[in-house]
C-alpha cells in the first residue's frame, strides 16, 4: 500500500444556476492575456449539448483517454511508436473553430461617437485578427438550450441509442461546470513526448512545466475532457492549475470560492497509488467507479494512517483528510460520481447528479432504480456519470431523495420509508453539508503546504529553493 494525498473537488449539480461567475473569475485571474483569449480553464455547459470545444465527448473523433487493448491499458491515440509517427502532424487536434473565435467590441464608438439620431453600436471585433467579425459560436453558445439544434447532437444521446424525444413538452436541461479533473491516471501526462506535464507529488495537482513544454500538443487530443489548451503566443500548452498558489495558502480555487450557488466542495482524499493502474484497467467500464472507490482509503484507519506517515504526508494533511467534505460525499455517502469514468483517467473532480423536479415523486414514494419517468432520464445521467451504468446513478439519486424525505418528515411527521440505508443522523449531516454548510465546512484545505514544498525543495537541492547558478 502506497498512500498518496489528492486535493479533490465535488460539485453539487442540483445547485448550479448557470451564472458563469466561476468561468469569469477564473478567466480574469488566469487566462486574461494574449494567446489565451479563447481559453476557459473553467467553463459551464448546458446539457444536452455539444459543449466546449464542440463535441469534446466524441472520442471516436479525438481519440482521447485510455482504452483496454488485449486486457492492457493504453492511450487511445495509439502505442508509443504510433504516437511518435504523429509527432509533427497530429490529425486529432481541435482547431479554433472547435472552440470559438474570441472577440471584443468596439467600445470606443460608444464613448466617442458624435451626436446622432440613433444609438451608436459597438460592433464585435476579433481578438485574433483585430478585424470586424460576425459572431457564430461562443464558449456558452448553447446556454439554456439557446442554440436550439445542437442539443440533438449531444454525443451522450447517440451513445444511449437516443430514445429521448427532445420535443418541447419533454425537454430537460441542466448545467455542467467543468475544470481539469486532476486525474489519478492522467492521459495528458502519459501522452507528453517531452515529459513536461506532471502530477504534483504533494497534492496531485496536474501541471504543465512552461520550461519543459516544447509545443508538441499531444496532450491536447489525449485529454478526453479537452482541458489542455494551446497558447498561440507562447507556443506552449496551458491548463487549469487548480489555483495551486491559493491551495498552498489553505484557500480553495477561485472558481470554488466565488461560486454563487455554493455548490463546490474541496478537500483531501487519501488513495492507494499501487492500485491506480489496476482500477483504471477494470474490464467492465460500468464498474470503474466502484474500483476507484476501492482505492480511496479510509483516513481514520490506523493502518492507512501509518502508511501515509511512512510516505511523509504531514499530520495537518491527515487531519484534513479525516474532516474532508469530499471524502464524505464521495466515499462515505457515495452521492458524488466521476464524469465519464469510461475514459479511464480516474478523474478527481466529482459530481452530485441532479435530482429532477421531485415533489411528485417524493409523494408517490417510488423507488428510483425502478422509475421510468424521471424528468432528466436516468439513462442520460448514466452516460455522463455512470459510464452507462444506471444503477450507480439511481443509487446516488435515491440517497438524495431519501435525505429530502427525512428532512421533510421532521416538519410534516410523515412516516419514513423502511428502505432507508442510513440512520437519521447521517441524512441530517448530508443535508447540512449539501444544503447549508458554511465556507469552512465546504473547504477543508490544509494550510502550510507551501512551507512543506519549500522544505522539500531545500532537501532536493541541498541549498535553497532557487535553481539559479550558485543557489542562494
Ligand atoms: S482532465 Fe485532462 S488535462 Fe486534466 S489531468 Fe485529466 S487528462 Fe490531464
Ligand atoms: S458560479 Fe457556481 S452556480 Fe454559477 S455557474 Fe459556476 S458552478 Fe454554477
Written in H, E and C, the secondary structure of 330-368 is: HHHCCCCEECCHHHCCCCCEEEECCCCCCHHHHHHCCCH
Ligand 2 atom with the smallest distance to the CA of 11 is 7
Q: Give the residue, by CA position, lying nearest to ligand 2 atom 6.
A: 22
Q: Is the pLDDT of residue 38 over 80?
A: yes
Q: Give the residue, by CA position, lying nearest to ligand 1 atom 2.
A: 223
**What integer is the mean pLDDT of 356-379?**
67
- How many structural domains compose the chain? 1
Query: Residue 10 and residue 383: Cα distance in Å, rounded?
Result: 18
Report how far ligand 1's centroid is from the alpha carbon of 148 (Å).
30
Per-residue pLDDT of 135-157, as tens digits, reads: 999 999 999 988 878 888 999 98
What are the grid coordinates assigned to 135, written together? 459572431
Please list every protein residue whose CB sits less than 6 Å from any atom of ligand 2. 16-22, 44, 175, 177, 259-261, 263
Q: Is the pLDDT of residue 368 over 90?
A: no
What was the pLDDT predicted at 363? 57
What was the pLDDT predicted at 468? 38
Q: Give the residue, by CA position, lying nearest to ligand 2 atom 8.
A: 16
Q: Is the pLDDT of residue 469 over 60?
A: no
Report how far ligand 1's centroid is from the alpha carbon of 117 (Å).
53
**What integer is the mean pLDDT of 285-299?**
98
What was the pLDDT predicted at 87? 84
What was the pLDDT predicted at 464? 38
Report how far ligand 2's centroid is from the alpha carbon of 23 (Å).
8
Which ligand lies nearest the alpha carbon of 220? 1
Ligand 1 atom with the smallest distance to the CA of 197 is 8
CATH number of the domain that residue 300 is part of = 3.30.70
Is 19 domain-assigned? no
Tell me which residue of 164, 161, 181 sits closest to 172, measured CA to CA.
164
Is 316 domain-assigned? yes
Banded pLDDT at 247 (limits 50, 70, 90):
very high
Domain with 357 in it: 261-442
**What integer is the mean pLDDT of 390-403?**
92
Is 29 domain-assigned? no
* Lowest-pLDDT choice from 94-98, 107-111, 314-318, 435-439: 107-111
Report how far ligand 1's centroid is from the alpha carbon of 39 (Å).
15
- With a pLDDT cut of 90, the percent of the chain lying above it is 75
Is 280 domain-assigned? yes
Is 255 domain-assigned? no
Tell me which residue of 460, 465, 439, 471 sits closest to 450, measured CA to CA.
465
**What integer is the mean pLDDT of 56-83?**
93
Q: Is the pLDDT of residue 360 over 70?
A: no
Q: Give the residue, by CA position, lying nearest to ligand 1 atom 4.
A: 180
The residue to mutate among 9, 11, 15, 22, having the most atoms of ligand 2 within 8 angstroms of its beta carbon, is 22
Is 461 domain-assigned? no
Q: Are 188 and 199 in contact (CB under 8 A)?
A: no
Ligand 1 atom with the smallest distance to the CA of 227 is 3
Report how far ligand 2's centroid is from the alpha carbon of 330 (Å).
20
Tell me which residue of 57, 223, 54, 222 sits closest to 139, measured CA to CA.
54
Is 138 domain-assigned? no
The 3 state secondary structure assigned to 148-206 is: CCHHHHCHHHHHCCCCCCCCHHHCCCEEEEECCCCCCCCHHHHHCCCCCEEECCCCCCE
Q: Is the pLDDT of residue 205 over 70?
A: yes
Q: Is the pLDDT of residue 319 over 70?
A: yes
Which ligand lies nearest the alpha carbon of 66? 1
What are the grid coordinates assigned to 20, written together? 458563469
Q: Is the pLDDT of residue 169 over 80?
A: no
Phi, psi values for residue 202, rounded to 5°? -80, -30
Q: Is the pLDDT of residue 362 over 60?
A: no
Please list every protein residue whose CB sits less than 6 Å from any atom of ligand 1. 180-183, 186-188, 206, 223, 225, 227-228, 239, 345
**What integer is the mean pLDDT of 443-471?**
53
The residue to mutate among 18, 27, 178, 266, having the most atoms of ligand 2 within 8 angstroms of its beta carbon, is 18
Between the alpha carbon of residue 454 and those of residues 30, 149, 208, 439, the distances in Å are: 23, 52, 19, 28
Which ligand lies nearest the alpha carbon of 222? 1
Is 46 domain-assigned? no
* Lowest-pLDDT choice from 54-58, 73-77, 188-192, 361-365: 361-365
**What integer is the mean pLDDT of 361-386?**
75
* Lowest-pLDDT choice from 32-41, 58-67, 108-117, 297-306: 108-117
Report how far ligand 2's centroid is from the alpha carbon of 411 (Å).
30
**What integer is the mean pLDDT of 91-115?**
93
Q: What is the mean pLDDT of the chain?
A: 90
Ligand 2 atom with the smallest distance to the CA of 42 is 6
Banded pLDDT at 82 (limits 50, 70, 90):
confident
Report how far ligand 2's centroid is from the alpha carbon of 256 (Å).
9
Cβ contacts of 297 within 8 Å, gap of 6 or more: 1, 3, 270, 271, 272, 304
Tell me the β-bridge partners of 47. 174
Amino acid at each position: 500500500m502506497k498512500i498518496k494525498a489528492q486535493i479533490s473537488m465535488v460539485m453539487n449539480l442540483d445547485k448550479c444556476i448557470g451564472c458563469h461567475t466561476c468561468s469569469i473569475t477564473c478567466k480574469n485571474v488566469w487566462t486574461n492575456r494574449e494567446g489565451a483569449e479563447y481559453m476557459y480553464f473553467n467553463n459551464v455547459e448546458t446539457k444536452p449539448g455539444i459543449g466546449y470545444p464542440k463535441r469534446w465527448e466524441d472520442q471516436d473523433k479525438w481519440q482521447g483517454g485510455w482504452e483496454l487493448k488485449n486486457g492492457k491499458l493504453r492511450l487511445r491515440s495509439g502505442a508509443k511508436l504510433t504516437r511518435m509517427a504523429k509527432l509533427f502532424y497530429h490529425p486529432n487536434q481541435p482547431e479554433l473553430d472547435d472552440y470559438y473565435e474570441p472577440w471584443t467590441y468596439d467600445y470606443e464608438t460608444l464613448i466617442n461617437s458624435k451626436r446622432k439620431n440613433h444609438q451608436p453600436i459597438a460592433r464585435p471585433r476579433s481578438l485574433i485578427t483585430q478585424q470586424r467579425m460576425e459572431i457564430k459560436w461562443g464558449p456558452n453558445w448553447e446556454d439554456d438550450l439557446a442554440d436550439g439544434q445542437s442539443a440533438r447532437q449531444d454525443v451522450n444521446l447517440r451513445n444511449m441509442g437516443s430514445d429521448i424525444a427532445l420535443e418541447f413538452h419533454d425537454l430537460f436541461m441542466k448545467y455542467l461546470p467543468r475544470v481539469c479533473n486532476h486525474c489519478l491516471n492522467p492521459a495528458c501526462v502519459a501522452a507528453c513526448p517531452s515529459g513536461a506535464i506532471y502530477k504534483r507529488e504533494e497534492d496531485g495537482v496536474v501541471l504543465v512545466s512552461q520550461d519543459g513544454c516544447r509545443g508538441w500538443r499531444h496532450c491536447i487530443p489525449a485529454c478526453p475532457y479537452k482541458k489542455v489548451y494551446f497558447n498561440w503566443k507562447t507556443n506552449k500548452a496551458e491548463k487549469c492549475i487548480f489555483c495551486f498558489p491559493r491551495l498552498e495558502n489553505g484557500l480553495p480555487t477561485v472558481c470554488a470560492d466565488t461560486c454563487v450557488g455554493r455548490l463546490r466542495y474541496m478537500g483531501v482524499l487519501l488513495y492507494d497509488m499501487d492500485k491506480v493502474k489496476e482500477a483504471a484497467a477494470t474490464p467492465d467500464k460500468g464498474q470503474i467507479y466502484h474500483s476507484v472507490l476501492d482505492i480511496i482509503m479510509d483516513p481514520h484507519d490506523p493502518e492507512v494512517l501509518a502508511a501515509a506517515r511512512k510516505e511523509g504526508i504531514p499530520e495537518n494533511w491527515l487531519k484534513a483528510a479525516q474532516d474532508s467534505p469530499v471524502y464524505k460525499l464521495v466515499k462515505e455517502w457515495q452521492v458524488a460520481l466521476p464524469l465519464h469514468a469510461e475514459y479511464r483517467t480516474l478523474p478527481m473532480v466529482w459530481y452530485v447528479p441532479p435530482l429532477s423536479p421531485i415533489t411528485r415523486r417524493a409523494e408517490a414514494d417510488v423507488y428510483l432504480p425502478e422509475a421510468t419517468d424521471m424528468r432528466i432520464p436516468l439513462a442520460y445521467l448514466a452516460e455522463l456519470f455512470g459510464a452507462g451504468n444506471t444503477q450507480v446513478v439511481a443509487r446516488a439519486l435515491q440517497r438524495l431523495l431519501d435525505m429530502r424525505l427525512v428532512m421533510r418528515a421532521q416538519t410534516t411527521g410523515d412516516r419514513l420509508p423502511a428502505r432507508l440505508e442510513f440512520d437519521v443522523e447521517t441524512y441530517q449531516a448530508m443535508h447540512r453539508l449539501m444544503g447549508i454548510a458554511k465556507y469552512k465546512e465546504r473547504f477543508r484545505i490544509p494550510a502550510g503546504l507551501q512551507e512543506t514544498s519549500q522544505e522539500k525543495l531545500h532537501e532536493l537541492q541541498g541549498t535553497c529553493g532557487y535553481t539559479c547558478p550558485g543557489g542562494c
